[in-house]
């Protein structure tokens, strides 16, 4: 399988604070990779570094075999990486369809074409069609998350980064959102899932990486990794995750 | 009758102010930047227009056709060369940069055009008027108001309907999220400033037709634009338009009370709005 | 000296920690500062009237610039309208001395109440404006004052006022007064700023500038501190205005509320180095020298000042002092505290 994304000795941080230390992560084509770890382990920082939102050296991040570290965020989107950011980050004051159209406007100018259209997205999340003219701030949390995912999909990504998409949502809504993943992967899109919910992360991914204090402490095939191993990697001690 | 006249003249004056205020509202909405040299750019464009008219014998609308593209280019260059480097959370760098630019522009104009007041010959357009029920309404001020309304409508439609407008609204809601959706913030900003200054191309022609311009006048235009935006309430171009009308009426009414009180009464209305309704008359709380 | 020893007298003698603030450069600067204050107050005995006037002008610029520095560099309040307080206090002195016949030298301290009183409602209105809009708002306030003064009969409207009562004093007496006032202004503005910045409040302010969230979680009322600085800066600018226009003997609306004051203050602080007292002194000296040499070029001189301000904002936001202190850490007004850990191994 060919690598879509790989990081090599990735270091990044905020000002004087270093948040990532020599992180090596690989994502293959069509693969779903989960990134788990406690709060502050560096998962979101990793995604931000990949997206060009933090200064990193070019060689630290490769996409499609080419060095892309530190490329401006909008250029990363153009290359085929989209993100569902932490906290959804929708465009307030704009309707659902306008939020989605911003992505369509941009991706229609890319050389690379994709398969996602507004109608296809509405098939995936029918509620969004119903709410198309509603301002995004009056949607429920789950609906907002769907808009955020939809916006990322309409960027026609080859690699989709999802930052804690289950956070703060009811279990039923989380299931509904995760049910959309197979459809996304069926298009050959690779997925990186940052998750707090270890069970969810394990079941939705092919492989997983566990991070602790800015370092990768465990990696392997999701089905082969035991809860005890994760517990150890998660806290750096002999705890089990219940 | 006197007060009805003041009201009418004030609204017409507001048309002029709206042409300054639109660009300021746009730039602040998108980048949270105030361009201190906003007024100086109006004056610079006016003086260029006056020189063009006298060197090539151009009429006012030919001057406008030349000035608007020039103004768009000025705005684009201003953003690319200066403002893109200072846009950010901290308001200080952008304020200082445009403040320095204002100082430089004012004095540069003083050197090129001297301190004299000049105006653009309008070929009789500036003196034509119609009488309606005892009130004389100048043709030029009516044109100014119509153009201002047209610009506001155009800007509003662009923001709501066009691809660029959506990108712009996205960037003003959350610039990082816009970048994550493929929007290049720097080019959106450059376009926004180009439009903001481009509108000043219209304003420059009308300002120099309606009255006179001198290199030191820029500060006053900046203040009027600012007051109109705050009075109207931030967040919509129609707010800026309506705020301009209120400012124009306040000044015209004040002027009728005492000629020395015109500009001051505009300031007082601004301060009253700030005290009683800080979100602006038409802004959401 | 100023070092505070917190070494514990415990038997185990843990490493003693001393907090050191004063530095060698600081001691030298402090001595020079005292010398300058003495020199300023004794000017009539060693300087000509022309020199005293020049020094007075420089002192006024330093004060106006330092007040702007406190606002923009520490409190995060960018103002382009400090001339409002300069003019208002200038007028207050003229009204008190000329209209009410109060001794002009007594009128100066009395007049300082005016900017404090005026600043309160101004701040309450303006602080509702967001970041850059606050700056333009301060300018509007200054314009309001100018227009009011231009229309107000009892300050002689647009024609302005003269301070004829000063004729009752001899040239020497006036020189003594001006010199003492210069010394006092510098002492209060520079010395006062330094004391304030090294106090608990000052450190809170610096913390706030560097990280507002952290500072507000430290239990410091950021809003009230900003308000206090705004009022203090108004009084400081007022002091400069009172002294400046007393020396001028004339005041009229365009000169009293001249935006030039803001231009100069901003230029001085940005070139010298914002957020430092050293920067203000360096910037003021540069401006003063440049003004003497190039002032005659008028407009083109201001074009250069404007372009330099733009360049500093784009490429060198810490100004000259920022560049110096990167290579040579020798503050004249040390505010940072250094923790010195001394290992005293007892035998």
The position carrying tokens 């600018």 is C237
Contacts for B191 with CB less than 8 Å, ≥ 6 apart: B76, B164, B168
d(CA C247, CA A112): 73
What are the residue boundaries of the structural domains of chain B, listed by start?
2-276
Query: Is the Cβ pair B167, A105 closer than 8 Å?
Result: yes
Q: What average pLDDT does chain C have?
A: 85
Q: Tell me: the pLDDT tens digits for C249-298?
A: 999 999 999 999 998 999 999 999 998 898 999 999 999 888 888 877 77
Q: What are the beta bridge partners of residue A219?
A: A209
Strand A3-14 relative to strand A17-28, pairing: antiparallel
For C2-5, which contacts have Cβ atoms below 8 Å and span 24 or more sequence positions?
none
Tell me what pLDDT residue C6 has: 43
d(CA C173, CA C86): 24
C144 → closest Cβ in B34, B267, B278: B267
For the cut 80, the answer to whether the pLDDT of residue C209 exceeds it is no
Residues B129-152, mean pLDDT to the nearest whole number: 91
Contacts for A124 with CB less than 8 Å, ≥ 6 apart: A150, A180, A183
B110 → closest Cβ in C126, C148, C299: C299
| Residue A23 included in any domain | yes
Tell me what pLDDT residue C13 has: 53
Tell me what pLDDT residue C347 has: 39
Strand A32-37 relative to strand A207-212, pairing: parallel
d(CA B46, CA A116): 50
pLDDT category of residue C11 using cuts at 50, 70 and 90: very low
Interface residue B176 vs chain A (CB under 8 A): yes
For the cut 90, the answer to whether the pLDDT of residue C214 exceeds it is no
Q: What is the CATH number of the domain that holds A52?
A: 3.40.50.300
Q: Tell me: the pLDDT tens digits for B55-82?
A: 998 999 999 999 999 999 999 999 999 9
B173 → closest Cβ in A51, A73, A94: A94
What is the 8-class DSSP label of residue C247? Answer: H
Distance of CA B129 to the CA centre of its chain: 25
CB A59 within 8 A of CB A49: no
**CA–CA distance from A14 to each of A35, A42, A49, B44, C209 (Å)?**
20, 11, 11, 43, 18
Shortest distance, CA A197 to any CA of chain B (angstroms): 25
Tell me what pLDDT residue B124 has: 80
Q: How many domains does chain A have?
A: 1
Phi first, then psi: give them for residue A64, nearest 5 degrees.
55, 35
How large is the ipTM?
Answer: 0.92
Strand C161-162 relative to strand A66-67, pairing: unpaired
- For residue A180, count other CB atoms closer than 10 A to its CB: 17
Strand A32-37 relative to strand A190-195, pairing: parallel
Q: Which residue of chain C is at minimal alpha-carbon distance from B94? A: C313
Q: Tell me: the pLDDT tens digits for B110-129?
A: 999 988 999 998 878 878 88
Shortest distance, CA A80 to any CA of chain B (angstroms): 10
- Domain membership of residue A11 as a residue range: 3-88+158-235
Three-class DSSP category at B266: helix
Q: Tell me: the pLDDT tens digits for C148-182?
A: 999 988 888 888 899 888 888 888 888 998 999 99
d(CA A236, CA A241): 12
B67-102: b (≥16 Cβ within 10 Å) or e: bbebbbebbbebbbebbbebbeeebbbbbbbbbbbb
The position carrying tokens 């005041």 is C251
| Residue numbers in C near B86 (CB within 8 A) | 313-314
d(CA A133, CA A120): 17
Q: What average pLDDT does chain B have?
A: 92
Interface residue B277 vs chain A (CB under 8 A): no
Query: Is the Cβ pair B95, C303 closer than 8 Å?
Result: no
Any chains having at least 3 CB pairs less than 8 A from chain B are A, C
Chain B, chain C: beta-carbon pairs less than 8 Å apart: 133
Please give the model's pTM, rounded to 2 decimal places: 0.88
Closest CA to B94 of B84, B105, B80, B104: B84
| Residue A176 included in any domain | yes
Mutant choice from B158, B177, B182 vs A, greatest count of A C-beta within 10 A? B182
- For residue C340, count other CB atoms closer than 10 A to its CB: 13
Alpha helix (H) residue ranges in chain C: 24-41, 49-68, 83-94, 104-111, 113-126, 131-151, 171-186, 192-198, 200-210, 212-216, 222-248, 253-256, 260-272, 277-294, 299-315, 319-327
Of the segments A121-135, C190-204, C209-223, C317-331, which one has the largest average pLDDT value? A121-135
Query: Is the Cβ pair B267, C140 closer than 8 Å?
Result: yes
d(CA B86, CA B33): 9
26-65 of B, contacting C, C-beta below 8 A:
28, 32-34, 36
Structure tokens belonging to residue C94: 């003229």
Sheet holding A81-84: strands in order across? A81-84, A159-163, A190-195, A32-37, A207-212, A215-221
Which run of H or of E encompasses B24? Answer: helix B2-31
d(CA A51, CA A55): 10
Shortest distance, CA B149 to any CA of chain C (angstroms): 25
Residues B156-183, mean pLDDT to the nearest whole number: 93
Residues of chain A with pLDDT under 70: 1, 237-242
Query: Is the Cβ pair C317, B105 closer than 8 Å?
Result: no
**CA–CA distance from B185 to each of B168, B228, C227 (Å)?**
9, 27, 35
Burial class of residue C329, CB neighbours in 10 A (0-12, 13-18, 19+): exposed
A111-132: b (≥16 Cβ within 10 Å) or e: eeebebebeebbebbebbeebe
Look at domain B2-276 and name its CATH class: mainly alpha
Tell me what pLDDT residue B273 has: 92
Residues C190-200, mean pLDDT to the nearest whole number: 87
Any chains having at least 3 CB pairs less than 8 A from chain A are B
Tell me what pLDDT residue C261 has: 92
Tell me what pLDDT residue C21 has: 67
Three-class DSSP category at B31: helix
Interface residue B247 vs chain A (CB under 8 A): no
| Residue numbers in B near C120 (CB within 8 A) | none
Burial class of residue C282, CB neighbours in 10 A (0-12, 13-18, 19+): buried
Shortest distance, CA C214 to any CA of chain B (angstroms): 16
Determine what percent of chain B is predicted with pLDDT higher than 90.
Answer: 75
d(CA C118, CA B104): 32
Reading phi first (left if > 0) and then psi (alpha if -120 to 50, else beta), residue B203 is in: alpha
For the cut 80, the answer to whether the pLDDT of residue B272 exceeds it is yes
Tell me what pLDDT residue C340 has: 62
d(CA B177, CA B165): 16
Contacts for B218 with CB less than 8 Å, ≥ 6 apart: B37, B38, B39, B40, B41, B42, B43, B102, B105, B106
pLDDT category of residue C10 using cuts at 50, 70 and 90: very low
Interface residue B162 vs chain A (CB under 8 A): no
For the cut 60, the answer to whether the pLDDT of residue C61 exceeds it is yes
pLDDT category of residue C8 using cuts at 50, 70 and 90: very low
Q: Which residue of chain C is at minimal alpha-carbon distance from B270? A: C140
Q: Tell me: the pLDDT tens digits for B227-255?
A: 999 999 866 889 999 999 999 999 999 99
Tell me what pLDDT residue A38 has: 86
What is the 8-class DSSP label of residue B232? Answer: H
| Residue A128 included in any domain | no
Closest CA to A85 of A130, A152, A179, A5: A152
A72-85: b (≥16 Cβ within 10 Å) or e: ebbebbbbbbbbbb
Do C and A share at least 3 CB pairs under 8 Å? no
For B254-260, which contacts have Cβ atoms below 8 Å and span 24 or more sequence positions?
B255/B6, B256/B2, B256/B3, B256/B6, B258/C151, B260/C147, B260/C150, B260/C151
For the cut 80, the answer to whether the pLDDT of residue C12 exceeds it is no
| Residue numbers in C near B260 (CB within 8 A) | 147, 150-151
Distance of CA A1 to the CA centre of its chain: 20
Shortest distance, CA A237 to any CA of chain B (angstroms): 37
d(CA A87, CA A108): 26
The position carrying tokens 């007496």 is C173
């Amino acid at each position: 399988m060919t690598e879509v994304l790989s990081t090599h000795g990735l270091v990044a941080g905020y000002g004087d604070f270093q948040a990532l230390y020599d992180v090596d992560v690989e994502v293959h084509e069509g693969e779903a990779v989960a990134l788990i770890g406690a709060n502050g382990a560096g998962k979101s920082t990793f995604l931000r570094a990949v997206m060009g939102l933090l200064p990193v050296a070019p060689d630290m991040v490769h996409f499609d075999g080419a060095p892309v570290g530190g490329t401006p965020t909008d250029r990363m989107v153009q290359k085929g990486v989209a993100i569902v950011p932490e906290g959804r980050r929708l465009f307030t004051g704009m309707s659902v369809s306008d939020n989605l159209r911003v992505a369509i406007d941009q991706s229609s100018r890319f050389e690379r074409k994709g398969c996602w259209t507004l109608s296809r997205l509405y098939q995936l999340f029918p509620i969004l069609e119903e709410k198309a003219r509603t301002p995004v701030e009056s949607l429920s949390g789950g609906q907002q998350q769907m808009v955020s995912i939809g916006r990322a999909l309409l960027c026609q990504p080859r690699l989709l980064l999802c930052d804690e998409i289950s956070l703060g949502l009811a279990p039923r809504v989380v299931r509904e959102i995760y049910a959309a993943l197979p459809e996304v992967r069926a298009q050959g899109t690779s997925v990186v899932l940052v998750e707090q919910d270890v069970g969810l992360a394990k079941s939705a991914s092919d492989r997983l990486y566990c991070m602790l204090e800015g370092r990768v402490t465990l990696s392997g095939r999701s089905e082969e990794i035991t809860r005890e191993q994760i517990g150890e990697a998660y806290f750096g001690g002999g705890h089990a995750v219940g | 009758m006197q007060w009805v006249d003041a009201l009418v003249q004030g609204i017409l004056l507001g048309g002029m102010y709206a042409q300054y205020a639109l660009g300021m509202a746009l730039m602040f909405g998108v980048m949270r930047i105030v361009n201190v040299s906003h007024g100086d750019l109006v004056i610079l464009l006016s003086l260029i227009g006056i020189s063009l008219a006298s060197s090539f014998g151009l009429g006012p609308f030919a001057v406008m056709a030349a000035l608007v593209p020039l103004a768009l280019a000025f705005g684009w260059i201003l953003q690319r060369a200066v403002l893109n480097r200072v846009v950010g959370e901290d308001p200080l760098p952008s304020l200082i940069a445009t403040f320095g630019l204002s100082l430089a522009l004012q004095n540069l104009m003083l050197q090129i055009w001297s301190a004299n007041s000049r105006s653009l010959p309008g070929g009789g357009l500036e003196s034509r008027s119609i009488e309606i029920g005892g009130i004389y309404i100048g043709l030029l001020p009516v044109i100014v108001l119509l153009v201002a309304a047209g610009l506001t409508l155009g800007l509003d439609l662009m923001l709501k309907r066009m691809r660029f407008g959506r990108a712009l609204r996205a960037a003003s809601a959350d610039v990082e999220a816009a970048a994550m959706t493929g929007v290049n913030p720097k080019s959106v900003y450059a376009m926004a400033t180009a439009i903001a200054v481009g509108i000043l191309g219209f304003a420059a022609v009308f300002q120099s037709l309606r009255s006179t311009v001198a290199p030191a006048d820029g500060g006053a235009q900046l203040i009027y634009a600012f007051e109109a935006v705050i009075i109207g309430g931030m967040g919509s171009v129609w707010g800026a338009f309506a705020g301009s009308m209120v400012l124009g009426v306040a000044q015209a009414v004040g002027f009728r009370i005492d000629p020395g009180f015109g500009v001051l009464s505009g300031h007082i209305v601004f301060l009253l709005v700030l005290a009683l309704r800080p979100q602006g008359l038409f802004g959401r709380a | 000296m100023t070092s505070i020893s917190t070494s514990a007298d415990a038997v185990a003698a843990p490493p003693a920690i001393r907090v050191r603030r004063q530095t060698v450069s600081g001691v030298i600067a402090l001595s020079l500062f005292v010398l300058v204050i003495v020199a300023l107050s004794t000017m009539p005995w060693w300087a000509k009237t022309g020199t005293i006037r020049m020094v007075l002008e420089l002192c006024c610029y330093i004060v106006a610039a330092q007040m702007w520095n406190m606002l923009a560099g520490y409190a995060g309040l960018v103002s382009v309208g400090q001339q409002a307080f300069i003019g208002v206090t200038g007028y207050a002195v003229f009204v008190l001395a000329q209209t009410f016949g109060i001794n002009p030298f007594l009128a100066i301290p009395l007049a300082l109440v005016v900017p404090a009183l005026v600043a309160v409602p101004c701040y309450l209105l303006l602080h509702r404006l967001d970041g850059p809009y606050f700056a333009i708002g301060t300018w509007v306030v200054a314009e309001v004052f100018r227009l009011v003064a231009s229309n107000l009969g009892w300050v002689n409207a647009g024609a302005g006022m003269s301070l004829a009562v000063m004729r009752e004093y001899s040239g020497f007496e006036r020189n003594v007064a001006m010199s003492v006032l210069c010394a006092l202004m510098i002492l209060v503005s520079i010395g006062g700023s330094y004391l304030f910045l090294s106090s608990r409040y000052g450190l809170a302010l610096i913390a706030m500038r560097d990280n507002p969230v952290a500072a507000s979680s430290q239990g410091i009322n950021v809003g009230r501190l900003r308000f206090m600085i705004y009022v203090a800066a108004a009084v400081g600018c007022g002091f400069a205005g009172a002294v400046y226009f007393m020396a001028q003997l004339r005041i009229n609306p365009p000169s009293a509320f001249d935006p030039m004051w803001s231009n100069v203050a901003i230029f001085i602080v940005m070139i010298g180095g914002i957020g430092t007292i050293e920067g203000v002194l360096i910037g003021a000296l540069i401006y003063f020298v440049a003004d003497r040499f190039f002032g005659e070029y008028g407009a083109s001189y201001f074009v250069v000042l404007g372009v330099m301000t733009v360049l500093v904002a784009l490429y060198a936001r810490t100004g000259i002092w920022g560049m110096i202190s990167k290579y040579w850490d020798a503050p004249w007004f040390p505010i940072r505290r250094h923790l010195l850990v001394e290992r005293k191994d007892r035998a």
